[in-house]
Amino acid sequence: MTSLRNNKINRRHLLGLAAVALAAPSVVRAEVIRRNISSFRVHEWQDHFDTLGKGIIISDTETRALQHWTADGSMRIYPTSVPLTDELTKRGYTEVVEKRKNPSWAPMPSMRERNPEWPARVEGGDPANPLGTRALYLSWQYYRIHGTQDTRKIGRRSSNGCIGLFNEQVEELYEREPVGTQVKLI
């Protein structure tokens, strides 16, 4: 009898969680973000750069976190997606050279070789566009810090080289960081 009652409680509990997930997906996403934050390692910008300049972004591919500082020294930290393998990304210093709202996407030649069924181009605003709503273009060809339509990727090794953020967070970063922002991927 007790195990039957516990089984009913467990099913009720699961049904309640499912209802919350359907009714308030932001609550579920907030829980994912909260869990990811526990693994973040906070970096001091002074350990990587001489001056704040126009701003600084440090993206840590190991802890899957991006920190950014504005020129006035305020800092924010976000969970990210990172490249599937170490071979797919660069590490080191670069900078933001361009910013685009609703960027179009075209796979790199190496991506087309691995996935010939992928489209040659996806226009900005298309729900299938992997760049999401904003993109910060880096001085390294093909590398971006961008949003994603697929929020399951955040906190995971899931990209082909870029750093991904939730769309809401890349929009905030886009507004706060100007072209010329210093970037380091570690």
- Residue from 13, 48, 68, 146 carrying the catalytic annotation: 146
Distance (Å, rounded) from C-alpha 79 to C-alpha 34? 9
Of 68, 72, 70, 73, nearest to 58 by C-alpha is 68
Distance (Å, rounded) from C-alpha 135 to C-alpha 148? 10
Distance (Å, rounded) from C-alpha 2 to C-alpha 42? 47
Catalytic-residue membership of 68:
no
- The mean pLDDT value for 145-152 works out to 86
Q: How far is CA 169 from the centre of its chain?
A: 8
Q: Are 96 and 170 in contact (CB under 8 A)?
A: no
Q: Residue 84: what pLDDT?
A: 66
Q: Is the dihedral of CA 46, 50, 56, 57 positive or negative?
A: negative
Average pLDDT, the chain: 80
- The mean pLDDT value for 110-125 works out to 88
Torsion of CA 77, 79, 85, 88, to 10 degrees: -60
More confident residue, 84 or 153: 153
More confident residue, 53 or 34: 53
Q: Are 40 and 65 in contact (CB under 8 A)?
A: yes
Which regions of the chain does DSSP assign to beta strands (E)? 55-60, 65-70, 75-79, 82-83, 92-101, 134-138, 144-148, 157-159, 163-166, 182-185
- Residue from 13, 48, 68, 162 carrying the catalytic annotation: 162
- The mean pLDDT value for 111-138 works out to 90
Prediction pTM value: 0.72
Residue-wise pLDDT for 46-91, tens only, equals 899 999 999 999 998 888 889 999 999 999 999 988 776 777 788 9
Which parts of 68-182 fold into alpha helices (H)? 109-114, 167-176
Catalytic-residue membership of 13:
no
- The mean pLDDT value for 157-166 works out to 80
Which parts of the chain fold into alpha helices (H)? 2-23, 25-37, 109-114, 167-176
